Amino acid sequence: MSILQKRKLGELEVSAIGLGCMGMSYGYGAALERGAAVALIRSAVERGVTFFDTAEVYGPFTNEELLGEALSPYRSKVVIATKFGIQQASNGKQVQDSRPATIRKSIEGSLKRLKTDVVDLYYQHRVDPNVPIEDVAGTVKELIREGKVRHWGLSEAGVKTIRRAHTVLPLSAVQSEYSFWWRRPEEELLPVLEELGIALVPFSPLGKGFLGGSVDKNARFDKTDFRSIVPRFTPQNLALNQPLIQLLEAAAAKKSATIAQIALSWILNQKPWIVPIPGTTKLNRLEENIAAVSIEFTPEELSELDSAFAKITISGERYPQELEKRTGL
């Protein structure tokens, strides 16, 4: 088993790059065949990845089952993060539900599917405006006392909610979208996390594939792919955002790296308490992503990238309006 650089999420020590597992089951077209997905997750462990991210709603449920099968031989060597708070309604729509009874039902299901007796990091997937965050934190505190959860976090929460939650039960991590083309967390979120000593776990650090070089201006997505409803992925916006790719390509040429590695290394070089979780369904991409930890930037190089980025106009929102409303509460 290889050793990757380590970082801390509160008291949790994890590999500097984790693996986001959602796309193996859900969100980006057809699910990966089960045996291939198990093999890929185990390949990640063998290459030093110790941090794996899932959620009960991915599938729903099938992604947790996949991780349970894949990671059971390595359970003592890995950190598993999963999430509660989004339920699939009978009409196919997702609804936020973080009532204490629902959280308790969710943890029991997650433990069973993950084939474990404790979840290392348990996130509220989206803030539920109908349940005070103090009640959520109090419920998770009880689960920690009962030995079912080790640490907790919030996903896509606003800074006021983060402060309130942290007062009741200290947060180990906040998960948020953050990448070279989605930098809003720098405005409010990152300063508050630094102040409070909470780690950041960026999802979509490769911009849902755009910063990985696999999505060019001619890409089209069918209705089973989440990107088919994302404004940034319309043909017009994909074309307009090509200057960002050209900037990354220039940086990659200087470092003898790929643009995906530049995008991941850029995140890692922002703060020592940031642990990105790129997803993939391909072994060569997994290896490419892991290799990003060895790329270093000087402060001058980071400044040059930021200056060049500032001259580029990013086109298109990162979510449809309905989904953006659920974030930053």
Tokens of 281: 């369904």
- Given a contact cutoff of 8 angstroms between Cβ atoms, the answer to whether 118 and 149 are in contact is yes
Tokens of 169: 């039960």
CB neighbours of 113 closer than 8 A, spacing ≥ 6?
56, 61, 64, 65, 68
Tokens of 250: 């220039």
CA separation for the pair 168, 185 (Å, rounded): 23
154 forms bridges with which residues in the sheet?
124, 174
Own/partner long-range contacts of 58-63 (Cβ < 8 Å, ≥24 apart): 58/21, 58/22, 58/25, 58/26, 58/27, 59/25, 59/26, 60/88, 61/109, 61/113, 62/25, 62/26, 62/31, 63/21, 63/22, 63/24, 63/25, 63/26
Q: Which of 156, 85, 154 is nearest to 325 (CA)?
A: 156
DSSP 258-315: -HHHHHHHHHHTT-TTB----B-S-HHHHHHHHGGGG----HHHHHHHHHHHHTPPP-
Q: Which of 147, 97, 47 is nearest to 326 (CA)?
A: 97
Tokens of 210: 């755009």
Q: Which amino acid is at 42?
A: R
Sign of CA dihedral 265, 271, 272, 278: negative
Concerning whether 178 is annotated as a catalytic residue, the answer is no
CB neighbours of 89 closer than 8 A, spacing ≥ 6?
95
Among 26, 28, 58, 319, the one annotated catalytic? 58
Tell me the catalytic residues.
58
